[in-house]
Amino acid sequence: MAEKNKRDGFGSKIGIIAAAAGSAVGLGNIYRFPCVAGENGGGAFLIVYLVIVLTLGIPMMIGEFILGRRAQKNPVGTFKALAPSAKGWSLIGYMGVLCAFLIIAFYSTVAGWTIESVYKSVINYYHGKDLATIEQGFNDSINMTVRPLLWQAVFIFISAFVIAKGISKGIEKYSKILMPILIIILLILCVKSILLPGAYEGLKFFFKPDFSKISRQVITSALGQVFFSMSLGMGALITYGSYISKKDNLVTTSLMVGLSDTFVAILAGVIIFPAAFSFGIRPEAGPSLAFNTLPMLFNQMNGGYFFCLIFFILLVIAAWTSALSLLEVIVSYLTEELNLSRKKATIYSSVGAFIISILAAMSLHDGSSLTIFGFTIFDSLDKITSMVFMTLGGLFTVLFLGWKIKKQDFEDEFTNSGTVNIRLKKIFYYIIKFIAPAAIAVIMASQFLM
Ligand code: PHE
């Protein structure tokens, strides 16, 4: 039975914004965004990305909050509660729970690299090293057997610890102060990066769109990245929505969260591409972009030791607040639908995710045969979650919102029972009912056409 009375909630408006931004801002912005943008032509990708954030991402975030706050439940329970006669829709919720699981599995591997970078910063490993040595060191550490697994175990454990303690005491407390500090450091890094010799080429790559590069692959990748970065389509925001107070304005909350998430991704691009071009790292270099470019940048700075250390610590924390929202999806499902205690639910979900994460990490070893259709397990998890599960989840979520739930439920949550007057209301309905489902369906279908 759902423990309605005991439901925890966010204590303040800034609490929910901080927590939802904590979910959105993470490795997706600083590691994954530059990787995907680099592989997809830079400026061309950025334009498509921004269009999708504004037209689909933010409306969908509002939509997920509407569902969660209306139902006051976990993702599975939400679909059951809002359309009691059509149980099949709860499959979207189950898919979200599964997706959360699979994301944690590869996310914790990348978080593990971040902790490794903290370690390297502490021992001043990067100091005075050239790019080739830093790159070699990064590859070597991925290829180690025990150490990466240890770091990802630490990461999952610290996330599980906060989750076991509950929502407002846990998540809110940690995310409120730290995200602004991260943004300040990113701003300082931007200035440093832009001033490097040869930085202009990187800026041009990132900001000057070559429209001829906009292809189906660029659009599909951008859609997947928007979903991943904004934590859409898999129940994280439905779950957080269920903790939002009835007084909060969902539209302004979503705008603030969505825009800050996008701002951080753009900052990451402005830091990474100029620096990468300056040091001679190719934009398609993948993980090397964040994990090797940045230490090289710190090497050039006064106080580089300090900045490097603080930056990687904050990046671990940003990843951590995202992992909290992933775990919370699974834990809220296990406690509310299967009646497990919060502690047990946390243990099962984190141990399960850790086991899959072992495979993800091992699949990256040189010559590993842990592959699926030629992709490493790590890459497969990354691609399948964002480009299949989340987009499909998002598609059915907007269909559910637009066509299945009671108009009154939608209207009440959207306007706080008529107390807030929302401009552009008509456009929002129109987007949720027609544009979003059509756009997602077309983009997804285009992957399978020649
Ligand atoms: N949005 C997070 C990031 O950018 C990742 C994430 C995806 C978190 C889905 C929760 C749900 O790092």
Q: What whole-number distance in Å separates Cα of residue 217 and Cα of residue 223? A: 10
The CB of 236 under 6 Å from ligand 1? The reply is yes
Task: Determine how β-strand 371-372 pairs with β-strand 375-376.
Answer: antiparallel
The CB of 229 under 6 Å from ligand 1? The reply is yes
- Residue 242: enclosing H or E segment and its boundaries? none
Task: Looking at the CA of residue 390, tell me the nearest atom of ligand 1.
Answer: 9
Q: What whole-number distance in Å separates Cα of residue 53 and Cα of residue 302? A: 36
Q: What stretches of 72-172 show up as alpha helix (H) in DSSP?
A: 75-82, 90-122, 131-143, 146-165, 167
Q: Which residues pair with 372 in a beta bridge?
A: 375
Task: Looking at the CA of residue 230, tell me the nearest atom of ligand 1.
Answer: 1
Average pLDDT across each block of 10 residues of the chain; the chain has 450 residues. List them in order.
54 75 94 97 97 97 96 96 92 97 96 97 96 96 95 94 71 70 92 95 96 94 97 96 90 95 97 96 93 94 92 92 93 95 95 96 92 92 94 97 91 88 85 96 82
Q: What is the pLDDT of residue 349?
A: 95
Region of 423 on the Ramachandran plot (φ > 0 left; ψ -120 to 50 alpha; else beta): beta
Check: CB of residue 388 under 8 Å from CB of residue 370.
no
Q: What is the pLDDT of residue 169?
A: 53
Task: Looking at the CA of residue 24, tell me the nearest atom of ligand 1.
Answer: 1
The protein residue whose alpha carbon is closest to atom 11 in ligand 1 is: 231
String of b and e for 308-322 (b: at least 16 CB within 10 Å)?
Answer: bbbbbbbbbbbbbbb
The CB of 326 under 6 Å from ligand 1? The reply is yes
Task: Looking at the CA of residue 33, tell me the nearest atom of ligand 1.
Answer: 4
The pair phi, psi for residue 192, each rounded to 5°, is -60, -45
Q: What is the pLDDT of residue 3?
A: 42
The CB of 324 under 6 Å from ligand 1? The reply is no
The CB of 96 under 6 Å from ligand 1? The reply is no
The CB of 231 under 6 Å from ligand 1? The reply is yes
Check: CB of residue 185 under 8 Å from CB of residue 311.
yes
The CB of 258 under 6 Å from ligand 1? The reply is no
Q: Which of 294, 331, 268, 281 is closest to 26 using CA atoms?
A: 268
- Spatial neighbors of 362 by CB under 8 A, at least 6 apart, are 145, 368, 370, 377
Q: What is the pLDDT of residue 173?
A: 64
Residue recorded with tokens 């990348």: 110
Check: CB of residue 221 under 8 Å from CB of residue 46.
no
The count of C-alpha atoms lying within 13 angstroms of the C-alpha of 301, restricted to the half-sphere facing its C-beta, is 23
Helix (H, G, I), strand (E, B) or coil at 162: helix
Stated pTM of the model: 0.94
Polymer length of the chain: 450
- Spatial neighbors of 186 by CB under 8 A, at least 6 apart, are 264, 267, 268, 271
Reported in sequence order, the residue ranges of 271-392 that DSSP labels E, i.e. its strands, are: 371-372, 375-376
